[in-house]
């Protein structure tokens, strides 16, 4: 192995990680189960009742909250919390349904933006009630107000560690780069 490769390789931990206590393991196992089951349950409800998946719903919701219902694709990917590739595939499906259009955004330096169409806004309004009912059933109404506040606080703390850019979007409206021109 060359000296250069040794210098750039990440440092290995000097000691093994401390084992989780039984209480920590119980909490971790519950979190993993939540992360595996909640998105699937919400996705299934939207597919069954609305003909779209949870990610597509988030794309439409992010666009509906944006000025002029339009966002550059890079900003939309951050708002919807997906990769550029995943967003591109979702926007293609949403375009075929007539709910989104890709538009050129020359003001933003030859970028492509996504625009929520009137049909897309109507579709989002039509499916939002069912989605909200499921969110309430599975999470909001299942917890006390104190538990919900604790869950939200814990989730924000973890997201700050996993993705600070996403954490910055959690205070309200989906992420919109204030310096980016809107088409």
- Specify which residues 116 forms β-bridges with: 100
pLDDT for the residue 183 = 44
Half-sphere exposure of residue 22: CA atoms within 13 angstroms, side-chain side = 0
pLDDT for the residue 110 = 67
Both structure tokens of 166 = 């996403």
What's the predicted TM-score (pTM) here? 0.79
pLDDT for the residue 182 = 45
What is the pLDDT tens value at each position of the chain, 183 positions in all? Answer: 445 444 566 667 678 889 999 999 999 999 999 999 999 999 999 999 999 999 999 999 999 999 999 999 988 988 888 888 999 999 999 999 999 999 987 665 668 999 999 999 999 999 999 999 999 999 999 999 999 999 999 999 999 999 888 788 776 544 444 444 444
Long-range contacts of 42-45 (CB under 8 A, 24+ apart): 42/131, 42/134, 42/135, 42/138, 45/130, 45/131, 45/134
- CB count within 10 Å of CB 165 equals 10
Domains of the chain: 38-167 (1.10.10.10)
Closest CA to 128 of 40, 49, 24: 49
Edge-first strand order for the sheet with 100-105 is 70-72, 111-116, 100-105
pLDDT for the residue 149 = 94
């Amino acid at each position: 192995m060359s000296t250069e490769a040794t210098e750039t390789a990440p440092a290995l931990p000097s000691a093994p990680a401390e084992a989780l206590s039984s209480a920590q393991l119980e909490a971790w196992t519950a979190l993993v189960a939540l992360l595996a089951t909640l998105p699937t349950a919400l996705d299934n409800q939207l597919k069954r009742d609305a003909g779209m998946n949870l990610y597509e719903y988030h794309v439409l919701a992010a666009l509906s909250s944006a000025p002029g219902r339009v966002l550059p694709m890079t900003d939309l990917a951050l708002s919807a919390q997906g990769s550029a590739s995943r967003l591109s595939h979702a926007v293609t499906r949403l375009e075929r349904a007539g709910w989104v259009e890709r538009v050129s955004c020359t003001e933003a330096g030859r970028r492509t933006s996504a625009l929520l169409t009137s049909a897309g806004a109507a579709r989002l309004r039509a499916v939002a009630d069912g989605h909200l009912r499921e969110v309430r059933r599975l999470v909001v109404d299942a917890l006390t107000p104190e538990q919900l506040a604790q869950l939200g606080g814990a989730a924000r703390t973890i997201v700050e560690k996993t993705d600070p850019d996403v954490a910055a979007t959690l205070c309200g409206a989906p992420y919109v780069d204030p310096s980016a021109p809107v088409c």
